[in-house]
Amino acid sequence: MTLAESPAERHREVAGVFADRVAATRDWGTPAPVAGWTARDVVAHLVDWFPAFLGAGGITLDPGPTVTDDPVGAWRHHAGAVQHLIETRGDESFTHPYAGTHRLADAVDRFYTADVFMHTWDLARATGQQPGLDEDFAAVLLAGMQPIEELLRTSGQYGAPVAVAADAPAVDRLMGFIGRDPRWAPPQ
C-alpha cells in the first residue's frame, strides 16, 4: 500500500489505520514499547499534544471525550476534528513559535500525521496486532529524519537508536532510528 500524497488524504489513511488498532484494543493497561507507557498512554499522547501544538499557533480543536473515560471515542473525535481542520483550513498559513511558518495542511502532515504513523507501531505491538504500516512512507520519514538526527536526539522526543540491519524493512529501520526495538513484545 502506498499512502496518498495529499496531506488530507494521508492523514485520513494513517489516522484510519490507527483507529483500527484502537478499536481492536482490549487491554488498555498493557505495557507499550515506550518506557513507562501503556496502550492508553499512546492514544493519550496523540490526543493531548497536538491541540497544544495547534494552540501555540492560535488554532483550537473542540475537546471530545477523554482518553481516560473512552479511548476509542476520544480517538474518533480527535481524528475527525483534525481531518475537518485540514479539509477546511489546510491552505491557511500556520505559524508555530518553534516550528516556524507552514501551510496548515503541511504542518499537520509533517509534525502530526508522521507521529500518528510511528505511534501506530507502538499501539499495535503493545496489543498484539500487526502495525500494517506503509514501507514507502516509513522510508520517506527515515530519510527525512536522518540528516537532523542530532536535533531530534537533543529534543528528548526520541530514544537512543537501536541497531537494525541495513537491509531490514524500512519500518524496522525507522523504529530502530527512533529508539524502538523492532523485536519488542509486551511482557508475558
Q: Where are the domains of the chain?
A: 7-133, 134-183
Q: Which residue has the higher pLDDT, 26 or 158?
A: 26
What's the mean per-residue pLDDT of the chain? Answer: 94
Cell of 34: 515506550
pLDDT grade for 1, boundaries at 50, 70 and 90: low
Instruction: Note the pTM of the prediction, 2 decimals.
Output: 0.94
- Reply yes or no on whether the pLDDT at 156 is more than 80: no
Give the mean model confidence (pLDDT) for residues 166-188.
94
Residue % of the chain over a pLDDT of 70: 99
**Residues sharing a CB contact under 8 Å with residue 3, sequence separation 6 or more, in sequence order:** 9, 10, 13, 14, 134, 136, 137
CATH code reported for the domain at 7-133? 1.20.120.450
Q: Give pLDDT, residue 112.
A: 96
Q: What is the pLDDT of residues 92-125, one digit of tens each?
A: 999 999 888 999 999 999 999 999 999 999 999 9
